[in-house]
Amino acid sequence: MAVDMKKVGIDPVVGWLVCIKGPSRGRDYRIRSGRNGIGRSEAMDVQIAGDDTVSRENHAFLVYEPRKRIFSIRPGDGRGLVYLNGDEVIQASDLKAYDVIELGETQLLFVPLCSEKFNWDQTKEEPTEK
């Protein structure tokens, strides 16, 4: 019998963002399944601290859709613009490995873990006996 990781309190990483330009250069951010809010607030899944040009909440959303195993970037609720590889994001846009997302003065490199080659559903563990 397989264990559903979310049911036992584990929300596994599905990819990362790595800050390649801006005040948080060198920092990495874990991406989880579903919607990941990006902004400056501590309430955000991806908190971009130190860049006052990034909206406090929901500047953008990075989404991992586990059924189709695809990542996308979507504009947020605020006035701040989001760019993907230099082009403005005006609707959900698919992400590929090493795409660059730009918010304010920050640039983030996208590094996926889950894809057609790997997915957490493929590696479900059997429960251990105690």
User: Using CA atoms, how far apart are residues 94 and 32, in angstroms rounded to an integer?
Assistant: 16
**Domain annotation covers residue 92:** yes
Q: Does the pLDDT of residue 4 top 60, yes or no?
A: no
Question: Which of 49-53, 118-122, 126-130 has the least mean pLDDT?
Answer: 126-130
Q: For residue 36, give the nearest of 74, 81, 90 by alpha carbon.
A: 74
**pLDDT tops 90 at residue 94:** yes
Residue 57 domain flag? yes
Q: pTM for this structure?
A: 0.86
CB burial string 92-124: b at 16+ within 10 A, e below? ebebeeebebbbbebbbbbebbbeeeeebeeee
Q: Say if 17 falls within a structural domain.
A: yes
Residue 95, domain CATH: 2.60.200.20
Range of the domain at 26: 13-107
pLDDT at 28 over 70: yes
Q: Which residue has the higher pLDDT, 27 or 1?
A: 27
Domain count, the chain: 1
pLDDT reading at 68 higher than 50? yes
Enter the tokens of residue 78: 């605020």
Are residues 95 and 68 in contact, defined by beta-carbon separation less than 8 angstroms? Answer: no
User: Mean pLDDT throughout 55-78?
Assistant: 95
User: Within 10 Å of residue 84's Cβ, how many Cβ atoms?
Assistant: 19
